[in-house]
Structure 1
């Protein structure tokens, strides 16, 4: 029965479909891929998120390259089914009513995972509260804590109202949903008729909770002043007496830290790559933090031409992603033909969107991620003269960029504008540059399959995992990337791609240029067979492992049923 599902997965954002803008970036894409793999594996999972009826934002770039943000509404009733139950919670002494909508993720065996999207746009609520679930990651701290209370507290109450009484695990995908632990504590107190939180209650809640932390950046961990938290959450005195649950040990901050709350109320915590777990253990030294490296959903991210190729040579690749190791037997001509078909699709997209004509025969690099300083989107341009020389030797270069800057990140917006302003100067030296606006699931699929090399230049150790390079690998596109996040595990130098080395004195750009000039360009232009062999190994070694099928089996073994 539906209500016998054992695992509830909570995430502030989930990428359900390319036409449903309920995600901002990697966290939401990971959540969607996780649930798609869960459906494929027929796991007893349900999920909770917010509705985001106006999306995150639609990116528009003006003629100067400056980013503007527009609302991104979508047809809710076309994709979702309204559900009957209503639940309420008290926020700042106001009764806030919540309803939900259901979306079903269908697995390849016909099983499904229900996703419940919480919505406060109901007549009983004030005008302000009706818009609480409209937009993703916008608003001030007060707005955010109210949103997170709706997700965590309202989410648990909604699942109970829907009949989910047998849930054994609550998986928090990042700290936004950590208030679900507060609701579970309230349930334990009510069950035991107590007005205080004791160790037995904490143990019972911890046994139910799993927490995945995603960001090694301190600013990425939500914190709210105790004054604001008391004001919004109201009568939870037993909880606020236990400041050890939401503050660092021996370090009173007068803040409710959502990451510490999730850490302290979970029996299992993991980072999203081996290196990220090491960084997280340094950040949160009093906690045991395991690692389960992220993956991507193969059936979603392999482009059509590559899917046809796999069906011919590896017919059971979707049922068991590990079988993609057999891609080593795919002939050169077949693999190259499938890649060129994907590249042609990308070229068609580019000319339709920008009017820029890209060539199938010119080495094309792709860079697509959130436009922010630690991603270093301009590292490739640090030494223009050297890059011009490389382009001359390669017979030209084509560079495809995409990614949104956070609405409040003017520096990220300047990065986008600077790249766009370089186009004319670089075109004179045989380098074509396009910046494709409104990076989303649809555009991502064109990019990760259609470029020849995937470029990634984060400042270590700030890349928690990174999944775009995994998507590229599934499509036979090798990475040229800084050794951080997943690439530490996935890089076999000259076999699955190339590492941008970061010596102690810096000089990352020098390594980038050397790899381009001395290895990638000669292979692509002169020794194509060797380049295709690297493409094959990207699929066989990285595609077969860095997928959500493997990832979910690890969650089963380590977190869900222990």
Structure 2
């Protein structure tokens, strides 16, 4: 995988793709599945986000001192750091190998930032998702080609190869090249690779896939292509789409599909969408028979559940709950927890979250030379007694962070009712090259400073794993408003749900199969749209009416003890119905049973 989100102390991730990969490794350790992770070690953290006085995102890359990170160099037989050479056209790049112990599972990371390489070569692993297309291609070649070489040097011979998105596609190229050099014809070499490879695609639209122009690939892989012992055109056909208007476009997702015998999407709806998108690769089959399955994503429960909630489960379900994560009957025991106990713990988590948000805002305002009055307001902003909505994720247009503001007067009414007020916390980063995403952040930040919304809406800077754990356990409702069907899966709502936070979302990604009418709320309709304006209108009106007429009143409906009994019942229902279905424990079991074992049996 191009990124792994293990812990905030190892900042080599940007978002959901990396967090998912990290959670999968943790579950493999929990279950004793013999799995090895392979990725890149970046010298600079995925950027630290600062928000200016005017709401501009400022991206600051911090230099990682590897000796301060939870990893160790892999040593060779002489006790020296293991280094390998990867030869690209007219240059040989040295790679160094590091190991992270993820419980019982090893994660190996490659980097080039050491003295054996030139200054430009050392920068190859400087940053995750670099904008420069040459560097991006070299990173993917390093991950794929170099990764295969590293496993060989370590004596690791995988029976199953699992590609987490198409950034890893060059691993199949390197494995195929080895077989071709041994004399196998291309069809046999390709089939051998396919029999042992699973490709998981996370991209919901064809336009979002990784594409490089063929001349660029030839420039860097000329020597490798010559060593294939086949015309280079035959290799390039593996990544080309006959329907693409650019004959020089080489699509890494297409290469991954054509060199992998197994493929899956990451939710039921994403599977349906993917089969339609990639139907042209299997034109002789009906759409429903396109060989792309689905395994819905999950989350590592012990990572994302708040400690006080884990203690609560120990008390009422016994410590063995950790070993029953996929047992639906077992989780009905959530009902044993008294309403007042669960509500008290949720209130404590909410209070802690507000305290942390205040600290972050004070630091931000002081850095931006805000007035003493604004800093004083930040110290007492947000009220733990008020219904609190959370919206935190990557800022990109399809996530529709500003959908809430489509009718500002209606939103103002919902937030400002004296007997039933509402407050909203926003957080998230936009890729530094995504100007539209950064503008969305600025828009929300500026809205939060208007008289109508000041004190009711806040934007919290520098969303990372540490802040995510605070928000997903502290808000009352987790909002998700993607433009369907653009959300392949989504996992932040799962993380919130295991903490008793109710999910309110468009019926996209995982929520379409998770929502049952009792465990959260659905925004909009369960259908596709062909007009984005109509979609935004229908979804925003649905959201406003849901908040105004159902969700907000339910929160403020209290018994004589001041407990929202119906709300707490919904929290319990959410936990009991979603924890056993949307953990990486369940996800890993599916991968093992539906793909890994099948591949292993086929190889035997």
The answer (yes or no) to whether the contact 1:93–1:234 under 8 Å persists in 2 is: no
1:429 is displaced (CA, Å) by 6.2
1:87 to 77, 84, 87: 84
**Aligned residue runs from structure 1 range 31-46, under 5 A:** 31-46=21-36
Q: In 1, distance between residues paired with 2:454 and 2:109?
A: 48
The answer (yes or no) to whether the contact 2:420–2:553 under 8 Å persists in 1 is: no
Counterpart of 1:134 in structure 2 is 126
**Aligned residue runs from structure 1 range 51-450, under 5 A:** 51-78=41-68, 79-84=70-75, 85-106=82-103, 112-165=104-157, 167-190=158-181, 192-194=182-184, 197-235=185-223, 236-237=225-226, 238=230, 240-249=233-242, 253-285=247-279, 286=282, 287-315=290-318, 316-322=320-326, 323-355=330-362, 356=378, 357-393=381-417, 394-425=419-450, 428=452, 432-450=456-474
**Which piece of structure 1 moves more, 528-537 or 391-400?**
391-400
The answer (yes or no) to whether the contact 1:305–1:339 under 8 Å persists in 2 is: no
Q: Secondary structure at the match of 1:14?
A: coil
Q: Secondary structure at the match of 1:131?
A: helix
1:328 is displaced (CA, Å) by 2.6
1:326 is displaced (CA, Å) by 2.2
Counterpart of 2:554 in structure 1 is 523
Cα distance per residue 1:364-385 (max 9 Å; x no partner): 0000011111111011111122
Indicate how the Cα distance of structure 1 residues 430 and 537 shifts in structure 2: closer, same or farther if over 3 A, else same.
farther
Counterpart of 1:560 in structure 2 is 596
**Which piece of structure 1 moves more, 389-398 or 337-346?**
389-398
Q: In 2, distance between residues paired with 1:410 and 1:430?
A: 25
Q: Secondary structure at the match of 1:229?
A: helix
Q: In 1, distance between residues paired with 2:299 and 2:484?
A: 22
- The TM-score with structure 1 as length reference comes to 0.93
Q: Secondary structure at the match of 2:6?
A: coil
Q: Secondary structure at the match of 2:250?
A: strand
Q: Which runs of 5+ in 2 are unaligned?
A: 76-81, 283-289, 363-377, 559-563, 599-604
Figure out how many residues of one structure are paired with residues of the other and give that number: 541
Cα distance per residue 1:337-365 (max 9 Å; x no partner): 11112111101101111143222110000
Q: In 1, distance between residues paired with 2:30 and 2:219?
A: 43
**Which piece of structure 1 moves more, 328-337 or 438-447?**
328-337
Indicate how the Cα distance of structure 1 residues 250 and 425 shifts in structure 2: closer, same or farther if over 3 A, else same.
closer
Counterpart of 2:18 in structure 1 is 28
> Aligned-residue CA RMSD in angstroms?
1.6
Q: In 2, distance between residues paired with 1:54 and 1:37?
A: 27
Q: Which runs of 5+ in 1 are unaligned?
A: 1-10, 107-111
Q: Secondary structure at the match of 2:323?
A: coil
Q: In 1, distance between residues paired with 2:27 and 2:426?
A: 29
Cα distance per residue 1:486-510 (max 9 Å; x no partner): 01011122x1111111475432110
Q: In 2, distance between residues paired with 1:358 and 1:303?
A: 21
The answer (yes or no) to whether the contact 1:132–1:143 under 8 Å persists in 2 is: yes
Q: In 1, distance between residues paired with 2:498 and 2:478?
A: 12
Q: In 2, distance between residues paired with 1:430 and 1:156?
A: 53
- The TM-score with structure 2 as length reference comes to 0.87
Q: In 1, distance between residues paired with 2:253 and 2:495?
A: 28
The answer (yes or no) to whether the contact 2:428–2:461 under 8 Å persists in 1 is: yes
The answer (yes or no) to whether the contact 1:395–1:430 under 8 Å persists in 2 is: no
